[in-house]
Chains A and B, each alone.
Chain A
């Protein structure tokens, strides 16, 4: 085995290297298309595999390898033990290498079908994608999938690496057919450049230098192409944008706004607008990593001071007065769903966008995208690895650009509020103007004034629990007791609401979310009228109960958990529903084939096993007296 010749290159040694940004590229393809082998080969050809790594690789190849006596380059990249044992790459791995002409950061994205999310992750930080196709198999459904994801994530440069060309005897007609098929398919995608290259990565053909075994191919080798390709930088020619990341206040006399320039450039003296407030000012000083500078462009981490004192917080955006970003609390976006918990329209998620974290929900899922042919499919939810187009509604207005215009200021993530898991990647398409056209009607009689006419505070009493637990029975007794004490009440009950306001809704998880959202809004309006509102709903999901809680001022939402054992409810079965659900006649029945999430911090828990309904109602009234509701 020949030792690779070492030729580490340094940025400081070679001016050509230093004056260019690193090329960030992604490799993707189906399982067994040879991605890891290709990257391993590139490192090897550049003499970038260290001797001790090579020794470890030789021993690993004998233990886990799939290439017989030869070195298995894939093992160099499959880092984690579990992967080595299972022979698959689970996650995105990043590799760094340099040739004498350029630095590279390679994201190795897995080809396994269920790992779309990792591919999207790798693509979000890449400028170019190398899509591998096995010449002996041709285009696979996953080849299309990867091309579509790359396109959606804003990658504009593609290398179509037709690998294992040795398996088809280096035939040009096979190569040409695959290229023609891919080019026809990709015509609908947003690529600026597609470069097909025939490869035999395992043997190095056309990896570093042109192969004599493909005399019909007169284009560059893969590495030669990657060294030469110029990526049009979206951000450079644009108007100035800087999301404020941190406010720097060393003393009362200094207020600096720290952040990374996302687009355009600034110079002291430039006029700026602060969004979303719209206030205007002028740049006084720009502090870069080397101290005060008279110019800072995209990608620079700066701290700026302004000539006037304006209140600016993390998440505000400093922008040039011309061509401002949009400011809205509703927009349409593409979502890549990344969680095993499905998307529920109406559920409240956390959105992180340009250093702001705020609550947001999907108001309408317009369609799902078939990632093998771009067809629009009707959908009520998104499962893991699915991509859809949705309208989102945010807790307040934020500044942003379309993702197609700026990959930094147009991107966001959604986070689950309980697990803190990142559930989706989002790319903004456009603001929805609807939001800006609805103005709140000014109200002259306020909630406080209405409440003064009452002898008690407004309040929502939220009874949650399994079907048949006794929620409505207890709620009715409580209402009677309150009424007798002169408290103005009303009662919202699952059945009466579903026969009227919500009769268009069924019982899927998504429809249950919308059901509770509407009830929450109605309950809120009624508290604004000064009423005590008793709500009796199964409301099986914590997230929705929390959503209602957050609609109301602190202390005006009391969650009452009517705790009954499932077996007891099934035995009681007042409406015969459990019998039918267990027989499979009713779908999505809480406790049978849909989960009930118990409250974690209910204000009151009622133990139905030990107490009569009248006793439990007394406990609720006692709690209200303790809280001085009346």
Chain B
């Protein structure tokens, strides 16, 4: 029996996401799908392929590469593009790179601002994309809870939470003036657990970093940072230890805390999720710079 007959709720989320993706394709002239390599991107890509079958994916994927992603992420990204035969575009803010911006020397906020937010704006301008799909969910963070499914951006990619268009039923206002763009969030109504349930139900490949394994980590400010390569300077007395860890969310490796875990199968991850007492973005160091910091980043154009 197909799982959709047992899990009506997940099937409904799937159908809604497909409808949103099709709507954007039908309404915009040059959409692009932001592909961040994480589990949400994997699910979103899987849904997009379903939305247009038997046609091929009618738009490219865009990965904004800060050059500080885990090596396993990049390998997974390249393998995925090849396996699915999709058009993957990779963009790096070369100017930031030349200026030596990095999470290690510049700090989390400057690195995120230059290598993610600015890089994304540059990439969207360069590709003249009028719509960009993102895998963000409303349950991730407080300011995301009020985000629209079709979220309007100004010519400078800014987000104004006070002048958002009301979103009624599933009738989406997709009108844009010259130079403006739309961010489209097909997974708006999904929770973290829904994403894992769907990964399990559809056997969607995800980056191995989500599964527990012995990995070299150092403990900093209460976070477990994986030493993914020799670019991470060790502090005095710091020595990487092999620990059984996994990642609940994936970003730049020096900014992403691992969690201690034995969960090395999907079943075990789902079980662990149900017991969890902390939120998903707790491991994201960039969210905690200051209160309201996600909203600030979003106004500036961050996803």
Contacts and interface: CB of A to CB of B under 8 A. Distances in A.
Contact of A95 (B145, B165, B276): B145
A53 B8 contact: no
B141 to A, nearest CB: 8
Nearest to A248: B55
Contact of B166 (A118, A287, A352): A118
A14 B151 CA distance: 34
A103 B56 CA distance: 34
Contacts of A219: none
A20 B170 contact: no
Interface in B275-291: 275-279, 282, 291
Given A79-B143, A105-B189, A353 B282 contact: no
B14 interface: yes
A245 B171 contact: no
B176 A420 contact: yes
Contacts, number: 189
A125 interface: yes
B168 interface: yes
Interface stretch (A138-146, A222-230, A407-415): A407-415
Interface residues of B, number: 67
Contact of B9 (A17, A338, A412): A17
B149 to A, nearest CB: 10
B144 to A, nearest CB: 8
Nearest to A314: B26
Most buried by A among B25, B161, B188, B270: B161
B126 interface: no
Interface in B258-303: 270, 273-279, 282, 291-292, 295
A420 B165 CA distance: 9
A contact residues, range: 35 or more
Contact of A415 (B9, B143, B175): B175
B146 to A, nearest CB: 5
A19 B3 CA distance: 10
B277 A93 contact: no
A254 interface: yes
B232 interface: no
Contact of B26 (A60, A77, A245): A245
Contacts of B2: 290
B7 A79 contact: no
Given A12-B270, A105-B189, A422-B173, A249 B282 contact: no
Given A79-B142, A420-B176, A124 B169 contact: yes
Nearest to B167: A121
A93 B275 contact: no
B164 interface: yes
A9 interface: yes
A124 B9 contact: no
A412 B279 CA distance: 37
Contacts of A92: 146, 166
A422 B197 contact: no
Contacts of A15: 6
Interface centre among A19, A56, A81, A92 (most CB of B within 10 A): A81
Interface string B16-49: 1011001101100000000000000000000000
17 contacts: A10-B273, A11-B9, A11-B197, A50-B279, A60-B291, A76-B142, A90-B162, A96-B189, A120-B166, A121-B168, A245-B23, A250-B55, A254-B54, A256-B54, A289-B14, A289-B18, A415-B173
Interface of A: 3, 6-13, 15, 17-22, 50-53, 56, 60, 76-77, 79-82, 84, 90-96, 103, 105, 117-118, 120-121, 124-125, 245-246, 248-250, 254, 256, 258-260, 287-290, 299-301, 303, 314, 338, 350, 352-353, 355, 407-408, 411-413, 415, 420-422, 425
Interface of B: 2, 4, 6-12, 14-16, 18-19, 22-23, 25-26, 50-56, 138-139, 142-146, 161-162, 164-173, 175-177, 188-189, 191, 193-194, 197, 200-201, 270, 273-279, 282, 291-292, 295
Given A19-B7, A53-B279, A81-B291, 7 more contacts: A18-B10, A51-B277, A96-B138, A117-B166, A249-B55, A254-B54, A422-B166
